[in-house]
Amino acid sequence: MPTAMNHPLQGLLVLEFCQYLSGPSASLRLADLGARVIKIENPKGGDGCRRLAIKNLWVDDNSLLFHTINRNKESFTANLKSPEDVAVVHQLIQKADVLIHNFRPGVMEKIGLDYAAAQQLNPRLVYAEISGYGTEGPWKDKPGQDLLLQAMSGLAHTTGNADDPPVPFGLAIADILCGAQLVQGVLAALIRRHKTGTGARIELSMLESLLDFQFELLTTYYASGQLPQRSALSNGHTLLGAPYGLHATADGYLAVAMVPLQKLAEVLESEALQAFSQEEAFRRRDDIKRTLAAHLKQRPSAFWMEKFRAADLWAVEVLDWQQLAEHAGFLALDMVQTLQAAGRDIRTTRCPIRFNGHTLTSDRPAPALGGDRDRILQELNTPPN
């Protein structure tokens, strides 16, 4: 069991009316911090993520992804079209500190669990909701799916090189960013409640999270009126000049960050690079990167890294996940924890937060659908249907 000393949210009850990634990732972090999280799930299938198998990886009847993002939670099944089950949910809301949902706009209102109704049941409740595009406007009913949001937010034009088509991030960045920002909002509301005694409504949309993520690009666009331009090769950041980017060597890739061009030319012993001045780092960045690419391909990564390290310049080798897992720097973080589910071990990442010098881990797996219903009903002194 979590302790208050190292799990500051111990004693808080969170009700999660969520599916897939954005909402569940937020309640996962709250659970890591010590909160008790109860997933309210439809008895007919539950969270859709239970069936979302990535690379066809399963644990018992649920996907591996479901287990990793729903560890350390409980499951209570409730038919939200049943007055009897809704009455029990009302009892849970009266006891809860936080309610999180990521249904489309209008769904919670339709079943009578919107903010106004929940506030009547529990004025101290922090009511947090995630939508795809906000609750108003012409996009509000669009599906809040990560790839679609990356496409509509402009984010897909920040990755890849100039001649590439739009390139999405290789992970569900809208879901995870929005979930993290929801946690920030929830914690702020809990602090406010401690001061005032009243709850709050927290609203986020995945689109707003992605727009906030691009604040540098949007601010620059509004000031200049010009769209961000990707490098023709080795693109790393649309607003930064050469040599910033990933560059091929004879046997791999190096990431080179903000390095003065003349210093780079000196360290790499490149006469061709010496022809460029620092003032040309952005204006002629493609020419500079082509020159750098031709030079770096002559030798392996280890050769160049020795020179970068000796000069204390910002460059690293580009690692894949296997190389990362074997590296002493990764092992020192102790980022992997093991869960047990259905008689097998699941290795996954732990919460990245350290509290009072302690890492926050739990070996409790994701819950079986409705696996905690009877015990929770007993706590409420409500007989099961």
Joined tokens for residue 1: 């069991």
| Strand-strand pairing, 36-41 and 58-59 | unpaired
- Are 89 and 113 in contact by the 8 Å Cβ rule? The answer is yes
- Are 244 and 258 in contact by the 8 Å Cβ rule? The answer is yes
> How many other β-carbons are positioned within 10 Å of the β-carbon of residue 300?
13
Give how far Cα 183 sits from Cα of 67, 152, 224, 269, Å: 20, 24, 34, 49
Using alpha carbons only, give the angle 245, 250, 254 rounded to the nearest 5 degrees.
Answer: 25
First and final C-alpha spacing in the chain: 30
Which positions are catalytic? 237
Burial (CB count within 10 angstroms: exposed 0-12, middle 13-18, buried 19+), residue 107: middle
